[in-house]
Amino acid sequence: MSVIIQEHMSIQKKLEILSDAAKYDVACTSSGVDRSGTPGGIGNSVACGICHTFSADGRCISLLKILMTNECIFDCKYCLNRAANDIVRASFTPEEICTLTMEFYRRNYIEGLFLSSGVLKSPNYTMELMCNALKMLREVYHFNGYIHCKAVPGADPSLIEMTGWYADRMSVNLELPTADGLRNLAPHKSRKNILRPMKQIQLGRNEALGLKSYGRLSDAAGRERLLLSEKESNKENLPVSVSPVLGLVKRPTGNRGFVPAGQSTQMIIGATPENDYQIITVAESLYQKFDLKRVFYSAYVQVNEDTSLPSLPGGPPLLREHRLYQADWLLRFYGFQASELLSETRPNFNILIDPKCNWALGHLEQFPVEVNKADYFTLLRIPGIGVKSAQRIVKARQAANLRFEDLKKIGVVLKRALYFITCSGKMMYPIKLEENYITNQLISVKEKLPFGMEGGNLYTQLSLFDDVNFNSFNQSGVRSMYL
Ligand code: SF4
């Protein structure tokens, strides 16, 4: 292991290194919590290293986004901080984390903290440092702002539990969509060590919310229940030690609750050969089994040379990442299932059109839909009709039959919807319901894409007559992850 440690580094220099090192972690947006300030406390939940997230009421809030350390005993092949890399290493102390957070907060630069880390010495040692930083922030500095903290896979449940009482949100990164991918690129990590803290956080939240009691997860009986609830668990992987510093966890006093803003995770896209169908199936299962608030997708960015990593002739697969976020939205808010969006025979999205259009083109037998009669859930499945416009259609048609002009005023994107709907039995134009024809028309409509994905030579518009192998898009892609 090559580690260059600088003994007398200023806190400013550490901030430069550890905020830059945190930039690859995207799992930091929040669905937020709604907590007001407390008497004698500072901050509430309502420059460099600052990222933005969204509160429960949709406000954009700023977070100081840093790593506790970029030292790491692990050697994940995709990660800049892997043990094998010769890079400048730095670590914050818990006191330094508190100083930075409070100074930035007082200057009004931030409203919260996002704390991740490499693995220093051991998962327990690292988690304890992070937990101590949060404890100090809450109990010594009375910081009441938003805190998102990573859980270190492999850390003792007592440490995860204690951290959960101080954090608003926690996340455990899945890293790679399948156990095979993890074995190839992150051999020091195991699926079990990642899923266990996820399950613990879910059960702890349920208990704190009064949904179901599992007992104290740090106690032997609580652990037993936790482990019994994990089908994948086996005895060899039982955590054996209670934190030597914390001892048995004492629940802190206060009004925060246990991980009140829920948990999230992140997957790297394009470092391993999984197709879109596998990825959204994993995401769907995580939402269902672990009650996650968000799954984040991070296009693989090449920072290391390694024969087991794919080459990146076209740069990170940002457009694919975008399509997965759109599909994720369909799973969470539009009632789609992964098995409806894709299948083993149609395993990847057509990257040139959005996933809802992609689904509709594969199910043309269900179209056109009469907007004056279809129920709300059928309306939601029509390309160009979102949640708000579907709600408005259902309300507005109680007064009179809707026309295409009315739909436009309501907010329906007609340039996409017109192929899939009728108003009072008529289509907007005579259109042939034929997959290739409509695909071609949809591709020719200029789509508003997030900044950085338009133009360039990453994704060229293809003719329908090109022999498109969408699997080829799987292999491009670097973004690394921290815990
Ligand atoms: S991904 Fe995390 S655990 Fe793996 S090498 Fe990087 S910092 Fe260490």
- Write out pLDDT tens, residues 319-366: 999 999 999 999 999 999 999 999 999 999 999 999 999 999 999 999
Residue 4 has pLDDT above 90, yes or no: no
Residue from 2, 78, 79, 91 whose mutation best tests the ligand 1 pocket (most atoms within 8 A of CB): 79
166, 237, 155, 144: which is closest to 198 by C-alpha? Answer: 155
Confirm or reject: Cβ of 79 under 6 Å from ligand 1. yes
pLDDT level of residue 79 (50, 70, 90 thresholds): very high
Residue 368: cis peptide before it, omega within 30 degrees of 0: yes
Confirm or reject: Cβ of 342 under 6 Å from ligand 1. no
Counting from 1 in the atom list of ligand 1, the atom nearest the Cα of 80 is 6
Q: Which DSSP category does 172 fall into?
A: -
The helix/strand/coil state of 63 is: strand
Residue 110 has pLDDT above 50, yes or no: yes
Distance CA(409)–CA(91), nearest Å, equals 55
pLDDT at residue 12, as a whole number: 86
Distance CA(133)–CA(68), nearest Å, equals 9
C-beta separation of 151 from 163 below 8 A: yes
Residue 482 has pLDDT above 80, yes or no: no
Mean pLDDT of the chain: 82
Counting from 1 in the atom list of ligand 1, the atom nearest the Cα of 117 is 7
C-beta separation of 128 from 246 below 8 A: yes
Closest CA to ligand 1's atom 4: 76
182, 459, 470: which is closest to 313 by C-alpha? Answer: 459
Residue 76 CA, ligand 1 centroid: distance in Å: 6
Residue 428 has pLDDT above 60, yes or no: yes
Q: In the chain, pLDDT over 90 holds for what percent of residues?
A: 64
Opening angle at CA 104, ends 298 and 480, nearest 5: 15
Confirm or reject: Cβ of 76 under 6 Å from ligand 1. yes
User: Within a 13 Å sphere around the CA of 454, how many CA atoms are in the beta-carbon half?
Assistant: 6
Q: Would you give the end-to-end CA distance of the chain in angstroms? A: 19
Query: Which residue stretches of 352-473 are H helix?
Result: 355-362, 376-380, 387-396, 404-410, 414-417, 435-444
Confirm or reject: Cβ of 269 under 6 Å from ligand 1. no
238, 79, 110: which is closest to 173 by C-alpha? Answer: 79
| pTM score above 0.75 | yes
Residue 82 CA, ligand 1 centroid: distance in Å: 6
CA 429 to chain centre: 41
CA 374 to chain centre: 33
